[in-house]
């Protein structure tokens, strides 16, 4: 804490004294950047496939992941725009959070509609372009292309980084959707039923929503059972 106060003091009253430190920091960052990219690329190539395979081996998580996507897709259909909503699937349900998340009643209704529509053949609802799987796929592709470019070019250069970035972004969307379809979602949700929704606002004990964290968070519980749908 004393160090932070001292840094703030110099920043306010003697900002020019921090210029050498900023220059040193920038030079050090640029020097370490290539090594950070190499390490991160090898780390992604090893860990991302393992994470995908862990999800692929758990069919309950994949089905709840599909229902999570279907819920967001239904909400975005109703609002006619992309919503800032993120989610996470578990073996007993899924969670949604984000500043654009509507009331729990709307979310519950969207989840039930998504479940009904997927059970009646709309399997496309199980996929979403902004899924974490697609982000992981983009990181994996960038890492693979970067390592290949490093191997063939023999020297790390700005060109190899740009080539890896461009190829990863071009292939990320179709590759991510393919990964979702075959590894991280399972659209056959006829044996899934929705139990309830639980709200988890970040109020930290106060009777009002914290301004600095406007996100809502809902947990939707599901269970495996034989479900019959009626129009």
Closest CA to 192 of 60, 57, 56, 58: 60
What is residue 228's three-state secondary structure?
A: coil
Is residue 55 in a domain? yes
Instruction: Using the predicted structure, report yes or no on whether residue 21 has a pLDDT greater than 80.
Output: no
Q: CB-based contacts of 153: which residues, under 8 Å, 6+ apart? A: 159, 160
Between residues 153 and 208, which one has the greater pLDDT?
Answer: 153
Is residue 193 in a domain? yes
- Burial label for 110, CB within 10 Å (0-12, 13-18, 19+), is buried
**Full-model pTM:** 0.76
Domain that holds residue 198: 46-202+211-224
What are the start-end ranges of the H helices in the chain?
2-13, 19-56, 59-79, 104-119, 132-153, 158-179
Rounded Cα distance between 9 and 2, Å, is 10
Domain count for the chain = 1
Is residue 166 in a domain? yes
Q: What is the pLDDT of residue 168?
A: 75
Reported as a single tens digit per residue, the pLDDT across 83-125 is 999 999 999 999 999 989 999 999 999 999 999 999 999 999 9
Q: CB-based contacts of 146: which residues, under 8 Å, 6+ apart? A: 37, 41, 160, 161, 164
Is residue 77 in a domain? yes
Q: What is the pLDDT of residue 108?
A: 95
Instruction: Using the predicted structure, report yes or no on whether residue 187 has a pLDDT greater than 80.
Output: yes
Reported as a single tens digit per residue, the pLDDT across 23-49 is 666 665 555 666 677 777 788 888 888
Reported as a single tens digit per residue, the pLDDT across 62-91 is 999 999 999 999 999 999 999 999 999 999
| 37 close to 161: Cβ distance less than 8 angstroms | yes
What's the mean pLDDT when you consider all of the chain?
80
Is residue 154 in a domain? yes
Is residue 32 in a domain? no
- The share of the chain scoring above pLDDT 70, in percent, equals 71
Is residue 22 in a domain? no
Is residue 13 in a domain? no
């Amino acid at each position: 804490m004393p160090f932070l106060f001292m840094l703030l003091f110099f920043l306010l009253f003697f900002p020019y004294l921090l210029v050498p430190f900023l220059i040193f920091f920038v030079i050090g960052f640029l020097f370490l950047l290539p090594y950070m990219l190499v390490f991160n690329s090898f780390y992604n190539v090893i860990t991302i496939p393992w994470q995908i395979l862990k999800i692929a081996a758990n069919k309950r998580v994949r089905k709840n992941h599909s229902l999570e996507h279907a819920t967001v897709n239904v909400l975005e259909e109703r609002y006619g725009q992309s919503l800032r909503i993120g989610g996470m699937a578990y073996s007993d349900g899924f969670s949604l959070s984000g500043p654009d998340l509507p009331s729990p009643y709307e979310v519950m209704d969207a989840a039930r509609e998504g479940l009904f529509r997927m059970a009646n053949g709309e399997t496309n609802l199980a996929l979403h372009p902004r899924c974490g799987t697609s982000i992981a796929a983009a990181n994996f592709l960038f890492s693979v292309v970067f390592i290949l470019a490093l191997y063939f070019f023999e020297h790390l250069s700005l060109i190899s980084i740009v080539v890896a970035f461009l190829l990863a972004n071009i292939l990320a969307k179709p590759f991510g959707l393919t990964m979702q379809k075959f590894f991280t979602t399972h659209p056959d949700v006829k044996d899934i039923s929705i139990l309830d929704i639980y709200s988890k606002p970040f109020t930290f004990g106060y009777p009002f929503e914290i301004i600095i964290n406007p996100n809502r968070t809902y947990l939707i519980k599901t269970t495996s059972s034989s479900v019959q749908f009626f129009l």
